[in-house]
Amino acid sequence: MHELSIAMSIVEMTQEEAERRGGVQVSAVHLRLGAMSGVVREALLSAYEMACADTPLEGSRLVVEEVPVVVFCPSCQVRRPLSSVQLFCCPECGTPTSEIVQGKELEVVALEIEEWVQSPV
């Protein structure tokens, strides 16, 4: 269960980014999570809630975009989505390949920032 240390890194990195932008209030963190990142979505979501406690991010949401694995097929010479992480081969021609071109992502891609605006009278 390393999701808590991952969540704490996300919180820390988001707080730094919020401070860099003049102490803005972050309401959501958008994360891209690869199927081969080694991180479990559900565990990360609950760990995130714990990691946010008593920080300015308390109550914020973690929005996870799951990224499927895409491999490069050396025979077809194109990228193909993998049908199963238990079988690393081209779904079209069956050539074995371990060249992962997508699916290891663990990155914060965007923040939702609360902006106070004057409401119309």
Partner 1 sequence: MGSEPRLVEVRKNVLKQNDLVARVLRAQFRAAGVYVVSLVSSPGTGKTTFLEKILTRLCQSYSVAALVGDLATENDAVRLARSHAPVKQITTGTLCHLEAAMVQNAVKGWDLNHLDFLFIENVGNLVCPSSYDLGENLRLVLLSVTEGEDKPLKYPTIFNSADVAVVTKMDLASAVEFDWHSAHSNLQAVRPGMPIFRLSAKTGDGMEEYLDFLTARRDELRAAAAI
**Out of 50, 53, 87, 101, the residue judged to bind partner 1 by CB under 8 A:** 87
Neighbouring-strand partners of residue 31: 64, 108
Contact 101, 79 (CB under 8 A): yes
By CB under 8 A, is residue 118 in contact with partner 1? Answer: yes
Q: What is the DSSP letter of 41?
A: H
Contact present, 57 and 85 (Cβ < 8 Å) = no
Closer by beta carbon to partner 1, 1 or else 78: 1
Q: What is the nearest approach in angstroms of partner 1 to the Cβ of residue 6?
A: 6
Distance of alpha carbon 102 from alpha carbon 99, whole angstroms: 9
| Phi, psi (deg, nearest 5) at residue 105 | -60, 140
Quick check: 31 binds partner 1 (CB under 8 A)? yes
Binding status of residue 41 toward partner 1 by CB under 8 A? no
CA distance 22 to 39: 31
Does position 1 bind partner 1 by CB under 8 A?
yes
112 binds partner 1 (CB under 8 A): yes
Residues of the shown chain interacting with partner 1 in the complex, contacts defined by CB under 8 A: 1-2, 5-6, 9-10, 13, 17, 21, 25, 27-28, 30-31, 36-39, 85-89, 96-98, 100, 106-119
